[in-house]
Chain A
Amino acid sequence: MQLKLDNNVSQFADEIEALSGLNLYDCYQCGKCSAGCPVSQFTQESPTRLIRLIQLNQKETVLNSKTPYLCASCSTCSERCPMEIDVAKVMETVRILASREGVKPAVKEVVNFSGAFLDSVKSNGRLFEFGMTISFNLRNRTPLKDAMLGPVMLQKGKLGLFPQSIKNKEKIKNIFNNSSYFEPKEEKKEH
């Protein structure tokens, strides 16, 4: 990989800190996060490497990495980090930032899944699993994916055929329509 270094190396790490409150300069690449990461074997950039790229201001590479999408949000990394960096939150922050900046997601299936899931919650207040799976398959253009599980689930009564709706749908719509990408931050930490 070719890195383009400039004199403004702190820019991206500062941006991440402003959005998430996480100070990535605390990371000294011990690799503990990547050693425990259950999905690092499936990704190109390990968590350690992704953080190093952030420190080196490689915004484009980071926003186009598959790693934040393949992160399973298990928080093993965050739990074990000796510097108490919430690494899982770094992944989340990068993903949300990429979406806000209109970067095409590196793993579109994961984003399609989230979209299908949240659409279902937005319209009914609760998840309608059957409808969500069909909607995901259509978005993903894999209409028959997991189709063989359907009949058994139906037979065992594990698949509701109709969505459940809550009464106060207006509240849910309000939450969806007015939520911001990032939470407000109290104050910037010194480092």
Chain B
Amino acid sequence: MAYGYYPGCSLHSTAKEYSMSLKAVCRKLNIELNEVEDWNCCGATPAHTTKEELGVALAYSNLVNASKQGLDNVLAPCAACYNRLKNASYAASHSPLLEKRMNELTGGKVEHDIKVFNILEFFRDIYGQDNLKTAIQKPLSGFNVACYYGCLLVRPSKVVNFDDPEDPQSMDELVNLLGAHAVEWSCKTECCGGSHAIPETDIVLELGRRIFSSAQSQGAQMIAVACPLCQANLDMRQEQINKKYKTDFKMPVVYITQLLGLALGIPSAELGLNSHFVSTQELAKI
């Protein structure tokens, strides 16, 4: 099976273990990923909060490239990239005037319908839960996982049209399928502060504190994510949270693809489990 693939900037740097684990999982499952040729940054929050057209055009430009390549679908593992690409596709398909403007700005055209999907959607709807089930070699039994979706996978629901925006289930189902236990908790879709980590760090520390408290109170041993920004904000800043609030969180924040890889019997070194700030030692022992 071959699918279009948009890695986005983070997967080449701060989220390299997301990319490593995704590629290892795909190799194992014989899934071929065709990278969108000469892809550019989707613009993330800085673009659409600075100039409306810039925010759409930077993302749209990648759909133009994908269209030239003849790709019918594009997997965007980063939740922020996924959200921006979906938004560009939605905005252009709902406004002929905007579509014309995007064609002018990018000097190209999206010739056919391109479906953009996120990592959870990919494994649930495209690869299929039944196929996954048969591939599991080492069930992750005994682990309690808080599935953290954050904002951009599920909101705005009108645009992304994926799962329940208040109580999504796709990651929980996947985690349970891998043999672990997805806990019930209240911060599934609470915001981590996103790109405020650098300019407004205090906000991100407070939001992180709330997320960890909720996960811990429900007996979670780790948090599973599908977004590089959520991962960075919770993993890299966990020590700062502990220092500021005198807490003692030691909670690994792992990508869903890392958990998937472990269950498929892939060695932890190939999944980048040593790249985290908070130790993932317990998991690596599987």
Contact = CB atoms under 8 A, between A and B. Distances in A.
Interface residues of B, number: 63
B48 A174 contact: no
B101 interface: yes
17 contacts: A38-B191, A76-B191, A79-B166, A114-B45, A114-B46, A127-B9, A158-B16, A160-B12, A171-B106, A172-B58, A174-B106, A180-B52, A181-B53, A183-B56, A183-B101, A185-B97, A186-B96
Interface in A112-132: 112-115, 117-118, 121, 125-127, 129-130
A55 interface: no
A136 B199 contact: yes
Contact of B105 (A76, A95, A175, A181): A175
Contact of B157 (A79, A88, A114, A117): A79
A78 B41 CA distance: 25
A82 to B, nearest CB: 14
B41 A121 contact: yes
A2 B114 CA distance: 52
A159 interface: yes
A176 B27 CA distance: 37
B155 A158 contact: no
Given A110-B199, A158-B16, A159-B14, A182 B53 contact: yes
B43 interface: yes
Interface string B69-109: 00000000000000000000001000111100100111100
Contacts, number: 181
Interface string A144-172: 01100100110011111000101110011
Contacts of A72: 151, 191, 193-196, 203
Nearest to A71: B49
B194 A73 contact: yes
Contacts of A103: none
Contact of B275 (A130, A140, A157): A157
B156 A39 contact: no
Interface of B: 9-10, 12-16, 38-41, 43-54, 56-58, 61, 91, 95-98, 101, 104-107, 151, 155-157, 165-166, 189-191, 193-196, 198-203, 206-207, 236, 274-277
Contacts of A183: 52-53, 56, 91, 95, 98, 101
A160 B13 contact: yes
Contacts of B45: 73, 114
A11 interface: no
Contact of A164 (B12, B47, B156, B206): B12
A56 interface: no
A113 B16 contact: no
Nearest to A184: B97
A70 B105 contact: no
B58 A175 contact: yes
A171 B51 contact: no
B41 A125 contact: yes
Contacts of A146: 198, 201
A118 B44 CA distance: 9
Contacts of A76: 151, 155, 189, 191
A118 B98 CA distance: 22
B57 A73 contact: no
